[in-house]
Each structure stands twice: as structure tokens, then as C-alpha cells.
A and B are shown apart, each in its own frame.
Chain A
Amino acid sequence: MAPTPAAAATVSSRGDTSPAPPGGSQPVAGGWQLAASSALTRLLRQRELGIALVAIILFVLFSLLSHGTFDSVQNWAAIGSATAELGIVTVGVSLLMVSGEFDLSVGANFAFAALVMALMIHDGYPPLEALGADIGIGIGVGLLNGLVTVMLDIPSFITTLGTFFLWSGVTLLVTGGQTVTILNPPGVLTALGGSVSGQIRAEIFWWLGAGLVIGLLLHRTVTGNWLFAVGGKRFAARETGVPVVRTRVIAFVICGVLAAFAGAVQLGHLDSMSASFGSTYQLEAIAASVVGGCALTGGRGSILGAMIGTVVLQMLDNGLILSGVSPYWYESVVGVIVIAAVALHVRIGRLTRGAEQ
């Protein structure tokens, strides 16, 4: 429905406050600076810019420190496949964060869904059926998180803290803490996480594919528009006719499905699954999203940023080792990077929005 602007009157409600800069007839340098600074502002408005800068700096740093091992093709294939599982989880978590919610149950969901899938394949069920069960569990876990949060009207942080414990417990009950290994991996598992050529594994493409699909959904569709609106100001969204409840639940379901799918990909990669896999993913995914520019308060963020954020975390993990630094530094460095990146995003945001709060 196209708007039919009714007003024929040309009204100047604000037109009298002329925006013309006083420097209109000033020396060329002034005008140039103005143009350059507005171009810079426009560039900085891309939420991905801050994190891309961090990624480039780390890349240069590790390339120098590792004497050529870090920036090799093989190493990047390794970084890529090590990033993929967390990357897929993060794509969902960042979408959910844009809608203003958290999911602390992604790691438990990841392990639970993939373990059921592994057990089913192990027990001779058709592999595609096992994959279907994995996805079904993801939908169910996400739906439960969403419905409980919406209907009981409690913070999703609490809901998913609860379901994290719930599904972790169920996983241990089902497996008794055992690792399930699949000796003759079927084609489905190879397609999910097998080698495509040399070091390059299929999971990289699943990650990029998930990023592309979810990125388009979030940034280019009506549903995505509603996710931003619901996360930005829920009541305003309701006042304009956005189906707030449905949109919120959809976000939880998408996040749940991606976490479970990442578990399936992990199983495809390792051909085995244990209850402890992915147990730190909830925090790492939030860290990667935040580093990539997602606002903790919702309403702002980008899938591309979150994907670069995941790569940055992985670069740290990998680069520290190759630079001869103890890998035990990894978590400490991640902590510092999270704080620094958010401080950077806040500053960039203030600069581009011209706000001085």
C-alpha cells in the first residue's frame, strides 16, 4: 500500500533553521575538510568497520609475529573450519540479540541435538532422519525459549539460563556422559563437515551460507525490519502494527535451529560427539556478536559484523599459538578485546550519530 500524501501545502516547520554552514564562502581547505569528514562519517556508520579494522590489525600483527605461518593458505583453511561451528551459532545469536534477547542455551542445544543425531545414526536410523531430528530439536528448544519468555514475561537471560541447565542435564542423562563415535560416517555427515579439497572443509560453506541467508533475512526482509524494531523499541513496534510476539518467538526459533545445525556440522567434522562439546559457545557467541557490533540492548547489529567478530576470536586462538605465545593467554586476551571493541563501537556510534551522552 503506497502512501498517498494528502498534504498539498508546503509547510516549513523547520525550514527556517537554515543548515547552511557558515563556511560556505571560505577557502577551499575548509570545504574539503567538511566533505572529507562527512565521507568519513558515512564510512564509519557501517557497523562492520570497527571490527574490520581490528581484524586487519590482528592479521598484520600475527603475520609479522608468526614468521609467515599465520597468513598461509593452509592456516586460513584451518581457521575457517575451526570458526565454522561457533560461526553458525553466532549468526543465530546475533540475530536474536538484534531483537533484544539472549540465548544462553545454545551450547546445550548444540550438544543435545547433535548427540541425539549421533545416537540415531549409531543405531542405524537413516542419516537424513537423524539430521531431521537434530533440526527438530533446534526448533523445539528455540520455540520453548521463545514461548516461555513471551508468555511468562521474564527476561530471556533467565529463561535460557534455565533451559541451559535443563538440556545439559538431559544430555547427560541420555548419554551417561559417553562420547558417541560413528565409525562409518554416512554421506550426510561428509556433506556437513567432510573435506572438500585438502584442508578446506564443507562446514566453511555451511557457515557462509547461513550468514548469507540470515544476513539477507535480517537486513533485507520485512521480518528483519520487525526484528530491529522489536529490539529497538518494542512498544513503538506494537503501535505501528508489528506482530511483536510472533517476531520475538521467530528470533528464538532461528537461533535454536542454527545452534542445533552447528551441532550437526560439528558431528560431520569429527564423526563423534560428546556432551561437553560446545559448552562454552553461549559466551563466545555473545562475545563475537558484541565484538562485531551488536548492541547488548538490542536494535542494532549486523550479521556480517558478527561473522567478522567470530573470525577475530578464532584468529586470536590460532595466532597466539603460532606467534609462540602460550595458548593459555587466549581467554584473557578475548576478555580485553571484548571490552576494547565495545568501547570502540560506542565511540564510533556517538561520532556518527552526533550524540553526546
Chain B
Amino acid sequence: MTGGSSTEGVAGAALVQPSPWFEARRVGKRFGSVVALEEVDVAFRPGEIVALIGDNGSGKSTFVKIASGVYQPDGGTLLIEGREARLRSAKDARQAGIETVHQDLGLVDSMSIARNFFLGAELRRGPFLDLTRMERETRKMLVEIGLGNLRAVGQEVSRLSGGERQAISIGRAVAFQKRMLILDEPTSALSIKETETVFEFIRMAKVRGLAVLCVMHNLVQVRDIADRFVVFWHGRKVADVANTGQSEKELAEYILEGKLSELGIERSSLDTGTLRALMQE
């Protein structure tokens, strides 16, 4: 499924481009001497799935953490609906309507599934936690993602398999989603069938008009889901293009462009094998 590409003619491009819901402008972040992000501009529109791709360490997760309020950018601005937004914490981002599945899943192993599900957004009854309602809602969510029969919500997350954890983390973000859904390599621990499930969630978020940012490593899978590709190289954005049915090789070329020019290799002289080898490095 490719997005937007089938619109005929030049008029199509100008036709319906909703204004961005979330925008990063000239965002930068360093860790000591490491420049993780440099002057990055990306815009996210309602109902559009943006796939963020790039080499290991190219700054994808750093960008995700800035967009979700976990890290503060050193420079640049974030805009929500055109207005400057300060996301001082993950709580600010969640309140603004941004839900995130982090690469480390954001789960506390020593806590129950239900407590994890509502972590940072606990249900209360007076001054106390409403554990009964939290467990009931969590059970509903487990049924929806197909873990209903298998798992008791009072169980510690430490007992779950990698795939189950990922499902819980995604289920949580999907359940709370409001305006934007961010997923950092959500399918890395999943089988093909489970990946298709996650893609179904992502497409549903798109249909409901959410802006979606999805970090992906797998260049074959990402072509099925993305409307647009944003490519990072060493903390900089090196490509931002609509999904027009590019091949896996073309995507790899975007990712490796920075490296190729460093090495002085002509892009046209590459074959898929060399690309794969470069990707492995």
C-alpha cells in the first residue's frame, strides 16, 4: 500500500495537504561531544504515516525522545498546531496528545501489567488508585490485542516474552492515542504475523486522523506502511520524500548517501550486494 502517489498530475500535489499538526524546526541535540541531532526540520500531518529510517546511531531515537518530551532539545523549536510548544516532560507530551512506544518499551518489569498500562496516567478514586477499574480496562485492552486469554493483568511484566511486552507497550500507546502516535522500532521482536497486526493498528490510527511517526529498520516492511520517508544520517536529515513505491535498494541509497559521498563512491555504480554489505557495517 503506497500513499498519495497515485494522485494524477501536478494539481494533485497542491490538492489536499493538511497543515502540520506537529513540527520540529532546526532541532538539535548533543550528548557531550556527540552531536546526535543537528538542525533537523520535520513536519507531521494528521492522517499521514511518516517512516523515519537511518543507520544505527543516526539520531532516530533521540528525535523520538525529543518529540515525546523525554529529552529537551538544545536548539530549535517544536510547534503544535503552528504554536510553539514546550514539552518539558513526557507528561507534557502526553497531555498535548502525543503517545509513544519507545525502543525500550517504557515498561517497568517489576510492576504488574495493569500498573504499567496506566503508569503516568493512573486512574484514581478520591486519593487512592482505582485498581479495580485499571485492571478492568487493562483486561479489555489485552483482549483487543489478542493476549486476553493468556495473561492475568495482575502479573508482573517480567514474566512476559519479548513479543508480549512489545504488544503491551503498543497496546498502551494505541489505547491512549489522541493526536499523534510515535513508535520506535515497534516490530523488532515480532513475527511476520504480529508485525502485520501492529501495522493494522498503525493504519487504523491513520484512518482516525492521527499523525504517525514510525521508526523502522526493516526496509522491506517499511514500504508497506509509510506515506513518506524521512531519512537521517549522522544526526542530519538527508531525505524527506513521499512513498512513490521506491525499491528497497533506493531506500538503502537514501540511508547510505552520506556514507557514499564520504567514501567517494558513485551511486549509480552500486549493486544491491554492495549496498547490503554497506548496510551491515
Interface residue B150 (Cβ < 8 Å from any Cβ of A): yes
Q: Are A10 and B122 in contact, with the CB atoms below 8 A?
A: no
Question: How far is B167's CA from A233's CA once the two chains are assembled, in angstroms?
Answer: 19
Q: A4-B175, A242-B90 are in contact. List 11 more A-B contacts (CB 8 A).
A: A6-B177, A6-B201, A7-B144, A7-B201, A9-B144, A9-B204, A13-B193, A14-B147, A14-B163, A239-B100, A240-B120
Provide the residues of chain B in CB contact with A354, threshold 8 Å. 159
Interface residue A181 (Cβ < 8 Å from any Cβ of B): no
13 pairs, A vs B, C-beta closer than 8 Å: A9-B144, A9-B200, A11-B200, A13-B145, A15-B149, A15-B150, A224-B129, A225-B111, A232-B110, A233-B109, A239-B102, A241-B93, A355-B159
Provide the residues of chain B in CB contact with A228, threshold 8 Å. 108, 110-111, 115
Q: Interface residues of A, CB < 8 Å — how many?
A: 43
Provide the residues of chain B in CB contact with A11, threshold 8 Å. 144-146, 197, 200-201
Q: Are A221 and B146 in contact, with the CB atoms below 8 A?
A: no
Provide the residues of chain A in CB contact with B201, threshold 8 Å. 6-7, 9, 11
Scan residues 240-262 of chain B and give those whose CB is less than 8 A from a CB of chain A: none
Provide the residues of chain B in CB contact with A19, threshold 8 Å. 149-150
Question: How far is B79's CA from A143's CA once the two chains are assembled, in angstroms?
Answer: 36
Q: Are A355 and B158 in contact, with the CB atoms below 8 A?
A: yes
Q: A19-B150, A229-B119, A240-B90 are in contact. Are A5 and B159 (CB under 8 A)?
A: no
Question: How far is B204's CA from A353's CA once the two chains are assembled, in angstroms?
Answer: 35
Q: A3-30 toward B: CB 8 Å interface, digit per residue (1/0)? A: 1111111111111010100000000000
Q: Are A6 and B156 in contact, with the CB atoms below 8 A?
A: no
**What 7 A-B pairs are tightest by C-beta distance, nearest first?**
A241-B91, A241-B120, A240-B120, A3-B175, A239-B106, A241-B90, A299-B110
Q: A236-B104, A240-B90 are in contact. Are A5 and B120 (CB under 8 A)?
A: no
Partner of A236, one of B108, B159, B175, B197: B108
Provide the residues of chain A in CB contact with B208, threshold 8 Å. 6
Which residues of B are at the interface with A, using a C-beta cutoff of 8 A?
65, 68-70, 89-94, 100, 102, 104-111, 115, 119-124, 127-129, 131, 137, 140-141, 143-147, 149-150, 156, 158-159, 163-164, 167, 174-177, 190, 193-194, 197, 200-201, 204-205, 208
Question: How far is B168's CA from A14's CA once the two chains are assembled, in angstroms?
Answer: 12
Provide the residues of chain A in CB contact with B69, threshold 8 Å. 241
Q: Are B176 and A242 in contact, with the CB atoms below 8 A?
A: no
> Which single residue of chain B is at the shortest CB-CB distance from A228?
B111
How far does the Cβ of B93 sit from chain A's closest Cβ, in whole Å? 8
Provide the residues of chain B in CB contact with A5, threshold 8 Å. 140-141, 144, 174-175
> Which single residue of chain A is at the shortest CB-CB distance from B91?
A241
Interface residue A2 (Cβ < 8 Å from any Cβ of B): yes
Partner of B129, one of A3, A12, A225: A225
> Which single residue of chain A is at the shortest CB-CB distance from B156?
A353
Partner of A13, one of B68, B107, B163: B163
Q: Are A13 and B137 in contact, with the CB atoms below 8 A?
A: no
> Which single residue of chain A is at the shortest CB-CB distance from B140?
A5
Interface residue A269 (Cβ < 8 Å from any Cβ of B): no
Q: Are B146 and A3 in contact, with the CB atoms below 8 A?
A: no
Provide the residues of chain A in CB contact with B104, threshold 8 Å. 235-236, 239
Provide the residues of chain B in CB contact with A229, threshold 8 Å. 108, 111, 115, 119
Question: How far is B207's CA from A160's CA once the two chains are assembled, in angstroms?
Answer: 54
> Which single residue of chain A is at the shortest CB-CB distance from B68?
A239
Q: Are A1 and B176 in contact, with the CB atoms below 8 A?
A: yes
Partner of B119, one of A15, A225, A300: A225
Interface residue A67 (Cβ < 8 Å from any Cβ of B): no
Q: Are B123 and A2 in contact, with the CB atoms below 8 A?
A: yes
Q: A3-B141, A238-B70, A239-B70 are in contact. Are A10 and B115 (CB under 8 A)?
A: no
Q: A209-248 toward B: CB 8 Å interface, digit per residue (1/0)? A: 0000000100011101100110111011111111100000
